Amino acid sequence: MDVFTSAVDLLRDRHPERPVLALRPHAARRAANWFLANFPGRVLYAAKANDASVIMDALVEAGVRAFDVASLVEIERVARIPDAELYFMNPIKSRGAIVAAYRDFGVRSFAFDSDEELDKIVQETGGAHDLDLFLRLACPNTHSLIPLEGKFGVSSADAPALLLRTRQIARRLGITFHVGSQAVVPAAFGEAIEQVGQLILDAGVIVDAVDIGGGFPSRYPHSDPPELASFMQEIVRAAAELAVKHSCELLCEPGRALVAEAESVIVRVDARRGNALYVNDGAFGTLFDAAYSGFRFPARLVATSRRKQKPLAEFALYGPTCDSSDYLPGPFVLPECVREGDYIEIGQIGAYGRVLANHFNGYGEYDEVILTDEPMLSMYSSTEEPSVATKTKAGRTLPSRPSSDLSETGAGVAPASDVSSWGNAPRSARPLRDTRRCRMRP
């Protein structure tokens, strides 16, 4: 794959006809380094968030060896990674997928949320005695922008009996939950871990593992979460209160937080109508969440010649298909002079961007390059200085963070010892700044 120092460098070399997926593997590596150094337990990458081999390789280089997989296709793909440990955490799986996972790929860790699913796992593995079984709890979506509640999870009323039954079957017994994606308040995890603690007391069983799922946030123009260290502190605080804290392993399954920053899409403007830009990627491409989940992504004009970058204006985008829902309200903040033929870099699409793209209307084909510059926004900046505000012509103030002083090690964040000792770390005092609630991913 060709490597460029920036999107400008790319456009000096070529004028791509197709949208370009611009990968920044160093950003994925830095995020993984941070999680491996700061999470007090085992870090699984949720492979559904981004399956590009360059990104997966970067995570593996950083030391990630455990993966949350949701389907047999993901299992087949991830199993090629040497020493990969696979956790089949989709609470509902086909019988065929369970058999193949267990027999052909050596998967021993399975999530489930009902007696029926547990029966399936037991039957399809021939009553195996080497199963690590994770009961998925229902978890209210109190603090996240993409809810994952409703579809999966046993209720707290039904959980104790199911946990007790599973204890008789499992080699290792685990509890898991998902607080929703882009959780913007550390208490989301604290409250869910407290719910786990109560369940353990109610059921009166020893639990060997608590998997706190994904949900860790990234940074977007509409969502400027507190630093990740405050999430770790809250997790450590809550986990320290578990009755099983001395014997129980903690796990997490970040997707978004590991890869959101690691990819941009570079699109071309094919028409401008007022403040609407018609571009060559959209809702049926990598920008699904901008159309259907209320997400805003940072955007910048990629100019190879001197162009006036000010004043700024707010734009909506239309994707390339004939469907009028291929509309991204944004707003995307760009120089007011943007015109047909220009290229725009849209950042932070590394999580759930490429994996949601389809071929509707014959689109969905991309060029791919590696960029070595910094992502447009980052959770892994070396200092936690206040956000730098960008003012648009319409007077709106947008949060953004400089990403020029980032290192691959995640330097400057709380040292590992601050969060890996299960003590009484201070709770985050930063208020919830995100005001929008987003639609459930259809």
Ligand X SMILES: Cc1ncc(COP(=O)(O)O)c(C=O)c1O
The residue whose Cβ lies closest to ligand X is: 214
- The Cβ of residue 150 has, within 10 Å, a number of other Cβ atoms equal to 10
Q: Which is nearer to ligand X, 266 or 351 (CB)?
A: 351
Site string for ligand X, 68-97 (x = CB under 6 A): x--------------------x--------
DSSP annotation of 428 reads P
> Cα separation of 29 and 63, whole Å?
9
DSSP annotation of 143 reads S
Residue 114 burial (C-beta neighbours within 10 Å; 0-12, 13-18, 19+): middle
Contact 22, 52 (CB under 8 A): no
Residues paired with 265 in a beta bridge: 21, 346
Q: Which two tokens stand for residue 43?
A: 């870090």
Report the nearest approach of ligand X to the CB of residue 87 (Å): 9
According to the binding rule CB under 6 A, does residue 353 interact with ligand X?
A: no
Q: Which is nearer to ligand X, 49 or 203 (CB)?
A: 49
CA 436 from centre of chain: 18
Q: Which of residues 139-168 bind ligand X (CB under 6 A)?
A: 148
According to the binding rule CB under 6 A, does residue 410 interact with ligand X?
A: no
Contact 272, 230 (CB under 8 A): no
Scanning 260-392, the segments in alpha helix (DSSP H) are 288-292
Q: Which of residues 257-296 bind ligand X (CB under 6 A)?
A: 257
According to the binding rule CB under 6 A, does residue 46 interact with ligand X?
A: yes
Q: Which is nearer to ligand X, 164 or 355 (CB)?
A: 355
DSSP conformation letters of 350-372: -SSSGGG---GGG----EEEEE-
Report the nearest approach of ligand X to the CB of residue 46 (Å): 4
Q: Which two tokens stand for residue 381?
A: 């900046």
> Cα separation of 51 and 53, whole Å?
6
Question: CA geometry: angle at 278 spanning 273 and 284, to 5°?
Answer: 145
According to the binding rule CB under 6 A, does residue 49 interact with ligand X?
A: yes
Q: Which is nearer to ligand X, 214 or 320 (CB)?
A: 214
Among 181, 280, 286, 428, binds ligand X (CB under 6 A): 181
> Cα separation of 293 and 357, whole Å?
15
Binding span for ligand X by CB under 6 A among 24-32, 97-105, 232-240, 250-258: 250-258
According to the binding rule CB under 6 A, does residue 319 interact with ligand X?
A: no
Binding span for ligand X by CB under 6 A among 155-163, 202-210, 211-219, 385-393: 211-219
Binding span for ligand X by CB under 6 A among 75-83, 126-134, 248-256, 417-425: 248-256
According to the binding rule CB under 6 A, does residue 117 interact with ligand X?
A: no
Q: Which is nearer to ligand X, 177 or 278 (CB)?
A: 177
According to the binding rule CB under 6 A, does residue 215 interact with ligand X?
A: yes
The site for ligand X (CB under 6 A) is made up of 46, 49, 68, 89, 148, 178, 181, 213-216, 253-257, 351
